[in-house]
Amino acid sequence: MYWYVLFVRTGREHRVEHLLKETLDNNVFMPFVPLLEVVFKKAGVVKKEVKPLFPSYVFIESELLCQQFIKRISTFIHLSSDIIRVLSYCDTEIAMRECEKQMILSLCNNDYCIESSVGIIEGSKIHIIEGPLKGLESVVKKVNRHKRQALIELEFMGDIRVVNVGLDIVEKIPS
């Protein structure tokens, strides 16, 4: 299976995903928007919200090779005012690289959503005890305990993207 990425107008990700599901053959094209669970505090109440992991992008999983994919989807792209273009690596390769795909898949659940993780801080080291970041402490670049977020870097279509994922620190143990 290959992943292809469409660049769409901001805020129209779910609209494009729904349109693709209605219009295209679901056996060949499986569109989805990777999501991110965000935990925040508002008026003293902790709330969870789900938002797109990469705003302005819709992913399509397909078995079609690059040329076949472009041939089948190009008319749909030109007819839709919400889709801007198909992302590519230097105008040659349009399918997402396997290493990037596997990293995103390792963080996501079955609904392509990165859930919040739970961890502890021991001295100056972080230990994730639960969630998608468990065992991936090395990808965490920075922790903001007050906002319950961890800053991680993900490679996405050849670029490094900084993403704030949910991380609840339940305990801080001094060294």
| pLDDT of res. 173 | 86
Number of domains in the chain: 1
Q: Which CATH number does the domain housing residue 104 bear?
A: 3.30.70.940
What range does the domain containing 49 cover? 2-173
| pLDDT of res. 158 | 86
Query: What confidence tens digit (pLDDT) does each residue in 43-63 have?
Result: 888 888 999 999 999 999 999
83-86 and 2-8 strand pairing: antiparallel
| pLDDT of res. 25 | 87
104-121 b/e (C-beta count within 10 Å ≥ 16 → b): beebbeeebbbbbbbbeb
**Within the chain, which residues score under 50 in pLDDT?**
none
- Report the SS3 class of residue 77: helix
